[in-house]
Structure 1
Amino acid sequence: MSVSAAVIRDATAADETAWRNLWGQYLTFYKVDLPDDVTAHTWTRILDASSRVSMRVAEVDGVLAGFAIHHFHDSTWVKTPDCYLEDLFLNAAFRGRGIGRALIDDLIAISKARGWSRLYWHTDRGNETARKLYDTYAPEDGHVRYRLKFG
Structure 2
Amino acid sequence: MSAIVVRPFHSGDHPRWDALWQNYNAFYRRSVEDRVTERLWSRLVAGTGEPFGFVAEVDGKVVGLAHYFFVFSTSDWNPRCYMQDLFADSSVRGRGVGRALIEAVYREADRQNASQTYWLTQDSNTTARNLYDRVARATPFMKYQR
Normalised by the shorter chain, which TM-score bucket? over 0.9
Quote how far apart the aligned CAs of 1:78 are.
0.8
Quote how far apart the aligned CAs of 1:139 are.
2.7
**1:8-59 Cα deviation digits (max 9, x unpaired):** 0001111111100000110111111112111111111212333220110101
1:143 to 122, 138, 141: 141
Distance 2:143 2:46 in 1: 29
- The aligned residue for residue 43 of structure 2 is 45
Distance 1:23 1:112 in 2: 26
- The aligned residue for residue 113 of structure 1 is 111
1:11 equivalent in alignment to 2:9 = yes
Structure 2, unaligned stretches of length 5 or more?
none
Identity percentage over the alignment?
Answer: 38
Quote how far apart the aligned CAs of 1:144 are.
0.8
- The aligned residue for residue 98 of structure 2 is 100
TM-score norm. by structure 1 comes to 0.92
Moved over 3 A (4+): none
Deviates more, 1:18-27 or 1:46-55: 46-55
Quote how far apart the aligned CAs of 1:117 are.
1.1
Distance 1:97 1:54 in 2: 24
Distance 2:129 2:47 in 1: 31
**1:64-109 Cα deviation digits (max 9, x unpaired):** 0100100112111110111100000000001111111111111111
2:53 to 52, 55, 77: 55
TM-score norm. by structure 2 comes to 0.95
Deviates more, 1:134-143 or 1:75-84: 134-143
SS class of match (2:135): coil
CA RMSD of aligned residues (A): 1.1
Quote how far apart the aligned CAs of 1:138 are.
2.9
SS class of match (2:134): coil
SS class of match (1:122): coil
1:78 to 73, 76, 79: 76
